[in-house]
Structure 1
Amino acid sequence: MDRPNRPSALSPSTLGPQPSVHAEQGRVIASLPTGDSVEILLYGATVTSWKSNGRQNLWLSSAAKLDGSKAVRGGIPVVFPVFGPPPKGHATSALPQHGFARTSHWEYLGSSSSESGALAKGGDDSIKLDFGLSAAQISDEARKAWGYDFALVYTVTLGKDRLQTMLNVQNKGDKTFDFQMLLHTYFQVKDISKTTVNGLGSQPYVDKVLNATTHTQTTPSLSITGEVDRVYAQIRQDTTSIVEDGKPSIDVVRDNLDDTVVWNPWIEKANGLGDFEPKDGYKNMICIEVGAVDGWQKLEPGETFEGGQIVKSNL
């Protein structure tokens, strides 16, 4: 698919250490001289690994399907054009849960690097990777279920101790369409019983565990003591933080997105998910998912929407 401002190929530099990028077996792997790295599966454009300071920041099920047969359980799946089960009577109603982006094969559009002077010898200190998906690339079944002309450009930028993921949605056709989008990020934690989520206090949320009823969080921090499946909409603060054993570990900063989903399946739900392994893996993960899922985003012909996140490791 076409991409405006496609980055030129990286040119050799003698100024200092450079990022490494290579594609192999349906995935793209990038690393920085600092040791930070990221891996993206072309199936779903799913980020399956993000490492900084020798730590794996993302949780990936040991039973996750990485062969393109099923959406990946873990990492950062891309949800589009509908979040959750599609509502009856809506244009997305014939689509599967969470839409088709996470189960489509994306195109790798290329990479570019940038230098901001953070590295001592002038080496590049970030690498940007672009992936594309258009109406022509999705399955016949998905195109029949949702027949709009669209293009997605998903940009993954790796920096020292940070990862930015941005989804650009373009309406290429002559019909207006509605959509939802979400970045379903699974973060790895050492012990969920010692983990809290900050930045959601005093916020209303829809609790899917309690029959989608609306509540307001009255505590500054959210502790995970059972199954959690909450949709926080129109959040006032830009940053949601994961705190482990009293120490901030991950900051999630929303960019042009107002909503955040917090999810942990706990014991019973984890046991019921065939691709969730180990079954006690809920003790070592928490999903903080930024998106536009409260209602629908309307995109007129020729219009573009872009939103995403910057996640920062504090460890």
Structure 2
Amino acid sequence: MSWSVVNEGDGLPRIILTEPAGSSAVIHLYGGQVLSWKNEKREELLFVSAKASTKSPKPIRGGIPICFPQFDNLGYPERHGFARNRLWELDTCPSPLPRSNNHSSVDLILKSTDEDLKTWPHSFELRLRVILHPSKLTLIPRVRNTGSKDFSFTFAIQNYLSVSDVSEIRVEGLETLDYLDNLENGERFTEQGDALTFDGEVDRVYLRTPAKIAIIDHEKKRTLVLRKECLPDAGVWNPWNKKAKALPDFGDEDYKAMLCIDSAVTEAPVILKPLEEWTGCQELSIVSSSYCSGQLDPRIVLHG
């Protein structure tokens, strides 16, 4: 058995994935959210604030939240959508997965409820497959329109990454791209640097990004590579010191140890007709510290 269910002090179930090389992942059914991902050296690769709440209706600050049916909060009561504030279930009818001895996986599902239909009047099924390999974590979301009319949505997989010191991090793969700056009322700019570095608050959505983005952490001697399909945009967020102190579920110094990089579809919403389905894919992997942007070829897709 590649996964097990445990109940913590909050009474909510968690799924624990393990694989033979020693890496592991923990998925919380509240929010369908990955809360921990450790490599074979037992090093934690994700950030979760010590002040994070796992009690409804607050989202969990950290890990990998799922944002649906929107990635912004325009016209909706719940910022980044309601999916991250709902209790998901194990999917009892998942699609087949090729047999492998070096990975473990679990399938979750979230279905529309009568309460959700009051604020977003569309019937849907949102599925999430989490696959754990040695030094690699893959998330495959699927949205199916189970209603009788078309609907559109935006979507994001938010990755709260654990870093040594955000001021020393380089993000490569976003250079020369246009982005929307949420600190400037969503105004559009073009990235000018040869890499993205951090010396203050950042809240941006980069548009039409390549299939691969590298997050280089020299102090930890590792590079995390984000690869994605059907998620063309990328959010980048760090609150820095002033905003961190204003967030009730975020430690005053937490901003130094985290960077949020999101796989998103937001500029051009997905439109689904009845019974149609959309599928995305995100892969996080750890590579040697010698990895550089010269290997980032936007023509190479996820499995290139």
| Per-residue CA distance 1:212-249 (angstroms, 9 max, x = gap) | 211111222100110011111111x2111111127542
Q: Which residue of 2 aligns with 1:58?
A: 46
- CA displacement at 1:114 relative to structure 2: 5.8
Give 1:296's aligned residue: 269
Q: What SS does structure 1 have at the residue aligned with 2:91? A: strand
Length-normalised TM-score, structure 1: 0.84
Deviation at 1:94, TM superposition (A): 4.0
What's the offset of the Cα at 1:211? 2.5
- Aligned residue for 1:79? 67
* 1:97 shift after superposition: 1.3
User: Residue 61 of structure 1 aligns to which amino acid in structure 2?
Assistant: S
Out of 215, 231, 236, the residue aligned to residue 262 of structure 1 is 236
Distance 1:44 1:29 in 2: 15
Residues 6-45 of structure 1 aligned to structure 2 (within 5 Å): 19-24=2-7, 25-45=12-32
Match of 2:189 among 211, 215, 221: 215
Query: Distance in 2 between the 1:229 and 1:244 partners?
Result: 20
* AA matched with 1:82: Q
Runs of 4+ in 1 over 6 A off after TM superposition: none
The 3-state SS of whatever aligns with 2:59 is coil
Structure 2 spans left out of the alignment, 5+ residues = 289-304
Structure 2 distance, partners of 1:46, 1:216, is 32
For the Cα contact (< 8 Å) 2:26–2:37, is it kept in 1? yes
CA RMSD of aligned residues (A): 1.8
Cα distance in 2, alignment partners of residues 264 and 35 from structure 1: 30
Task: Report how far residue 108 of structure 1 moved.
Answer: 1.2
Take 2:5 and 2:185, find their aligned partners in 1: how far apart are those partners? Answer: 46
Contact 1:181–1:292 (CA under 8 A) maintained in structure 2: yes
Task: Provide the residue aligned with 1:149 in structure 2.
Answer: 123
Instruction: Tell me how far apart the structure 1 counterparts of residues 30 and 153 of structure 2 sit (CA, whole Å).
Output: 21
Aligned residue for 1:14? none
Measured against aligned partners, the alpha-carbon deviations of 1:31-80 in whole angstroms (never above 9, x if no partner) come to 11211111111011011000002110000000111233410000011100
TM-score, normalized by length of structure 2? Answer: 0.87
User: Which of structures 1 and 2 has the bigger CA Rg?
Assistant: 1
Q: Distance in 2 between matches of 1:109 and 1:265?
A: 35
Give 3-state SS (helix, strand or coil) of 1:294's partner.
strand
Residue 30 of structure 1: SS of its match in structure 2?
strand
Structure 1 residue matching 2:54: 3-state secondary structure: coil
> What secondary structure is seen at the aligned counterpart in 2 of 1:56?
coil
3-state secondary structure, aligned to 1:164: strand
Counterparts of residues 154-303 of structure 1 (less than 5 Å): 154-235=128-209, 237-245=210-218, 247-277=221-251, 279-303=252-276
73, 84, 109: which one aligns with 2:91: 109
In structure 1, the residue corresponding to 2:56 is in which secondary structure?
A: coil
Q: Give 5+ residue unaligned stretches, structure 1.
A: 1-9, 11-18, 87-92, 117-123
Q: Is the 8 A contact 2:3 2:15 kept in 1?
A: no
Contact 1:20–1:32 (Cα < 8 Å) also in 2: no
State the alpha-carbon separation in 2 of the partners of residues 256 and 58 from structure 1: 23
Indicate the percent of aligned positions where both proteins have the same amino acid: 32
How far off is 1:20 after superposition?
Answer: 4.3
- Map of 2:80 onto structure 1: 98
Rounded to whole Å, the distance in 2 between the matches of 1:310 and 1:239 is 9
Contact 1:21 1:29 in 2 (8 A): yes
Pair 1:35–1:248, CA change in 2 (3 A): closer
**2:67–2:155: 8 Å Cα contact kept in structure 1?**
yes
Which residue does the alignment assign to 2:299?
none
